[in-house]
Amino acid sequence: PTTVHRRDYSAPDYLVDHVALHFDLHQEQTTVHARLELRRNDSDNAQPQPLRLNGIELELLGLALDGVPLTQEDYRLDAESLTIERVPSQCTLEVITRIRPQENMRLEGLYRSGAMFCTQCEAQGFRRITFFLDRPDVMARFTTTIEADRDRYPVLLSNGNQVAQGQAAGNRHWVRWEDPFPKPSYLFALVAGDLACHEDRHVTASGRTVRLRIFTERENLDKTEHAMACLQAAMRWDEATYDLECDLNDYMIVAVGDFNMGAMENKGLNIFNTQYILARPETATDSDYEDILAVVGHEYFHNWTGNRVTLRDWFQLSLKEGLTVFREQQFTAAMGAAAVKRIQEVRGLRAAQFPEDAGPMAHSVRPDKYVEINNFYTATVYMKGAEVIRMYHSLLGQEGFCQGLALYLQRHDGQAVTCRDFLMAMAEANGIDLEQFGLWYSQAGTPCLEVHDEYEPGSGRYTLHIRQHTPATPGQPHKQPLHIPVIVGLLNAEGHDLPLRLENETQAITTGSRVLELRHERETFRFLDIPQRPIPSLLRGFSAPVKLDYAYTEDQLAFLFGHDSDEFNRWEAGQQLSARILLRWVNEGRGSIPERFRTAFRRTLCDTETDPALLAEALALPSENFLAEQMKVIDVEGIHIAREAMRCNLAEHLSEELRARYALCVEQGNKTENTAAAAGYRRLKNAVLGYLATLQNSTELQRCLDQYATADNMTDALAALALLVDSNASEAEASLADFYRRWQHEPLVVDKWLRVQALSSRSDTLARVIQLTAHPAFDIRNPNKVRSLLGAFAQGNPACFHDVSGAGYTFLADRVLELDGINPQVAARLVTPLSRWGRHDPRRSSCMHQQLERIYAQEGLSKDVYEIVARSLD
Ligand code: DPP
Ligand code: ZN
């Protein structure tokens, strides 16, 4: 397979001003008529380039240039393109192709999901629909006519405004849509089906009315309330925060059950994975509700950051994704508990992005090369990309950031641009130099900050020495120092923030936090008038995506956990403290829990002042995957055993407090009408229940059974079910069977049923997962099912997946090979856990390596899987 390099970018030779599409949808085949109005882009070039259009697996039925049919001598066709040697500098090309959406298992281009037709064109799906200049810097106006059977497909949708409709022979009808905004082909969308619609509206700040419609299969219409409310909230928030209004009269969302990703921001016609739209309290958990808010917001925010201003090429993907994830994060923080949100974001970053940055797939936020672009919808591009945007925000403040964003959108509206254009707009709007900051886009790897400090009691001087260092990554042996904002505070012995005055400053900053900017490998910051040796609170709010190394004592961590005014750092201190103890147990054998830790834990458990959701985060021990990241050679079993032992130990010592807190949460939850508050009580209650369940006695087992039986919401039912499944209780089987019986007709709930079994730490989990692949509820062609069963097992259940026999690896490799022939994009995601082979003990590592080699040797491997496997073996 060929590698595409960022440095090889060149502007397109031709542009498409307008494209008229006509889709004739039938059960067995679809015919697509495309009429492209083309124009040469390289008009100063005396030697016109041939016209080369992208197209994959298309059956060409007809081709005409300016009305004259072309014969086979006039063009060349290969597996990925159609080339016409000579075309006039302005011309109309008509192309007729036949495709078979009903056989499309890749879920790229036009395909069937259940009884409907839908599309997914990002990144390069449009070339599976018709021949086109399928690249984001070719922006065309689209007119789309869809013709289909009237009964099967009463609803026919595409981007923009509906401008005409009519009847056709043979019980068929057609609808024509016109999108007034030029757009790249990856934002094209089409949907046809027998769909129900939830309609509402949004009146913009300037007084325009936008009609909002969410389409679903009929039986799901009662699960769209929340998504609609989220959409309206997102529209209001973007107006209030960035003065950005929806530019359409009509905004449509369609929920589909078969979808490779989470959702897609097609202009005016978002297509969503049902997972991120459908919710009722009985079927969806509180975290599903939160995810829906985030994703509905995310896709809406793309309308400006992604659609109005789009990408020059796919290497710039983070230009829209990093920025839009950051906007989504700001939005969800504004809608709920900001600290809890931030903790979850950092958890996610550390669980997904840090390992990626330290492994064979490490790449910069703006990658330099790819074989298959679908492989670069990564944690690095999305999550680290969002952290990069957050750092602009930390450096510039909300106001400066707003000005920068406004300049960027105004300057580049309607254009396809680069990460560098964004950086320049931020720099110019604020009159600052961001050249060095630009290294965040090109340098891979997670930087490490080593911090030392000194205090001189006589003079009141306190000095922080910070050294930054980024480890080598594939293809980047030497790294340069980055421009890093480090937000710090200094705590006195009472736990209060000290006013901060740096050397050469006349006035102290009294807010307690300030941004230190690192630019050199080594930096020194000298604070004056510090009355006593302070405890530094470093990297508040996780102000940069880095690892921090400062020799805190366990006493200091416990102190910060109890006192830091920065909620994120308070949580972080607790995590560092428990990680430290757990890793000691793993390395030196299990000891006792230090009293200071148990005291801090008890205080948290009994705290009735703090937001319960935040307490739940504080009570959660670091994940097995997080602990694994801290070890040179991962001790999978040791980590699992130590973590379980600590959970048990805490539960045994604090069982009274745990039971009291459980009861209090139940009581408070019953009293409140506020749904966010109720969710917070549930979260804490279920965290507490998790500890109680480790006691493995009949009282606690009964508590889980009762909660499962009486729950009126999915959050409580599923939490109890997960604990029952994890226990060796014989009742677990009955509960699982009951759950399935009850929910077998709700695909998203069946996903939870699969996931809960895949994540169980029971020793027979692999056997069960293997069995489940043959269960009627599982379908390897459905990405949600694959992620719930196979993805959850391989990524979320290290203790079972890494079973020393190597059986988990063989099983995964088998499924990857099976899936590669069906849906390569999802298969490539599934193989990732094997790429971490280098971090494991010799026995596991050689088993993992063997499986990678077995996959590699397979003939006819997709580009997607090939790229991940080849890089992993490199
Ligand atoms: N562009 C899509 C998104 O919103 C890709 N799934 O992230
Ligand atoms: Zn996105």
Amino acid at the residue 357: D
Question: Alpha helices of 101-178 — where are they, by DSSP H?
Answer: none
How far is the centre of ligand 2, averaged over its atoms, from the C-alpha of 796 (Å)?
24
Is-catalytic flag, 299?
yes
Average pLDDT for 109-138 = 98
**pLDDT grade for 787, boundaries at 50, 70 and 90:** very high
pLDDT of residue 591: 85
Same domain for 367 and 460, yes or no, is no
780 assigned to some structural domain: yes
Separation between Cα atoms, residue 329 and residue 331, nearest integer Å = 5
Same domain for 413 and 522, yes or no, is no
How far is the centre of ligand 2, averaged over its atoms, from the C-alpha of 264 (Å)?
7
Domain boundary, last residue among 147, 172, 193: 193
How far is the centre of ligand 2, averaged over its atoms, from the C-alpha of 323 (Å)?
9
DSSP type of residue 135: S
Same domain for 171 and 88, yes or no, is yes
CATH code at position 833: 1.25.50.10
22 assigned to some structural domain: yes
pLDDT of residue 511: 76
**Ligand in closest contact with the CA of 123:** 1
Q: What is the pLDDT of residues 624-668, one digit of tens each?
A: 999 999 999 999 999 999 999 999 999 999 999 999 999 999 999
- Which ligand 1 atom is at minimum distance from the Cα of 264? 2
Is 871 within 8 Å of 832 (Cβ atoms)?
no
pLDDT of residue 353: 98
pLDDT of residue 832: 97
pLDDT of residue 73: 95
Same domain for 93 and 66, yes or no, is yes
Q: Report whether pLDDT(43) > 80.
A: no
Q: Report whether pLDDT(508) > 90.
A: no
Same domain for 37 and 122, yes or no, is yes
**pLDDT grade for 356, boundaries at 50, 70 and 90:** very high
Buried-exposed string 620-654: b where 16+ CB fall within 10 A, e elsewhere: bbbbbbbbbbeeeebbbebbbebbeebbeebbeeb
Q: Using a 6 Å CB cutoff, which residues line ligand 1? A: 122, 261-265, 298-299, 321
Same domain for 394 and 491, yes or no, is no
Total domains in the fold of the chain: 4
User: To test ligand 1's pocket by mutation, which of 119, 304, 377, 378 has the most ligand atoms within 8 angstroms of CB?
Assistant: 377
User: To test ligand 1's pocket by mutation, which of 302, 323, 327, 826 has the most ligand atoms within 8 angstroms of CB?
Assistant: 302
Q: Report whether pLDDT(42) > 90.
A: no
How far is the centre of ligand 1, averaged over its atoms, from the C-alpha of 175 (Å)?
27
Q: Report whether pLDDT(44) > 80.
A: no
Average pLDDT for 561-581 = 97
**pLDDT grade for 386, boundaries at 50, 70 and 90:** very high
Separation between Cα atoms, residue 504 and residue 487, nearest integer Å = 19
**pLDDT grade for 541, boundaries at 50, 70 and 90:** very high
**Ligand in closest contact with the CA of 186:** 1
617 assigned to some structural domain: no
How far is the centre of ligand 2, averaged over its atoms, from the C-alpha of 321 (Å)?
5
Q: Whose CA is nearest to atom 1 of ligand 1?
A: 264
**pLDDT grade for 46, boundaries at 50, 70 and 90:** confident
Q: Report whether pLDDT(728) > 90.
A: no
Same domain for 417 and 498, yes or no, is no
**pLDDT grade for 507, boundaries at 50, 70 and 90:** confident
CA 666 to chain CA centroid, Å, is 32
Tokens 């499924």 found at: 815
Which residue from 808, 817, 805 is spatially nearest to 780, judged by alpha carbons?
817
CATH code at position 417: 1.10.390.10
536 assigned to some structural domain: yes
Same domain for 775 and 835, yes or no, is yes
pLDDT of residue 52: 98
Say what percent of the chain tops pLDDT 90. Answer: 98
Same domain for 822 and 874, yes or no, is yes
Say what percent of the chain tops pLDDT 70. Answer: 100
Average pLDDT for 555-575 = 97
User: To test ligand 1's pocket by mutation, which of 121, 265, 373, 374 has the most ligand atoms within 8 angstroms of CB?
Assistant: 265
Q: Which of 94, 299, 523, 867 is catalytic?
A: 299
Mean pLDDT (the chain) is 97
708 assigned to some structural domain: no
Q: What is the pLDDT of residues 414-455, one digit of tens each?
A: 999 999 999 999 999 999 999 999 999 999 999 999 999 999
Q: What is the pLDDT of residues 276-295, one digit of tens each?
A: 999 999 999 999 999 999 99
- Which ligand 1 atom is at minimum distance from the Cα of 302? 4
- Which ligand 1 atom is at minimum distance from the Cα of 321? 7
Domain boundary, last residue among 544, 577, 604: 544
136 assigned to some structural domain: yes
pLDDT of residue 127: 99
**pLDDT grade for 22, boundaries at 50, 70 and 90:** very high
pLDDT of residue 183: 98
CATH code at position 174: 2.60.40.1730
Three-class HEC string of 511-533: CCCEEEEECCCEEEEEECCCCCC
User: To test ligand 1's pocket by mutation, which of 259, 277, 299 has the most ligand atoms within 8 angstroms of CB?
Assistant: 299
Same domain for 17 and 133, yes or no, is yes
Q: Whose CA is nearest to atom 4 of ligand 1?
A: 264
| Prediction ipTM score | 0.98
How far is the centre of ligand 1, averaged over its atoms, from the C-alpha of 1 (Å)?
25
Separation between Cα atoms, residue 445 and residue 629, nearest integer Å = 14
Domain boundary, last residue among 193, 223, 249: 193
Which residue from 89, 88, 187, 180 is spatially nearest to 132, judged by alpha carbons?
187
CATH code at position 520: 2.60.40.1840
595 assigned to some structural domain: no
pLDDT of residue 28: 96
How far is the centre of ligand 2, averaged over its atoms, from the C-alpha of 585 (Å)?
41
- Assign 634 to helix, strand or coil: strand
Burial bucket for residue 587 (CB in 10 Å: 0-12, 13-18, 19+): exposed
- Which ligand 1 atom is at minimum distance from the Cα of 262? 6
Same domain for 23 and 112, yes or no, is yes
- Which ligand 1 atom is at minimum distance from the Cα of 306? 1
- Which ligand 1 atom is at minimum distance from the Cα of 261? 6
Q: What is the pLDDT of residues 225-252, one digit of tens each?
A: 999 999 999 999 999 999 999 999 999 9
Q: Whose CA is nearest to atom 3 of ligand 1?
A: 264
279 assigned to some structural domain: no
**pLDDT grade for 118, boundaries at 50, 70 and 90:** very high
Same domain for 36 and 125, yes or no, is yes
What's the domain range around 867? 747-874
Average pLDDT for 522-534 = 97
**Ligand in closest contact with the CA of 264:** 1
**pLDDT grade for 794, boundaries at 50, 70 and 90:** very high
- Assign 271 to helix, strand or coil: strand
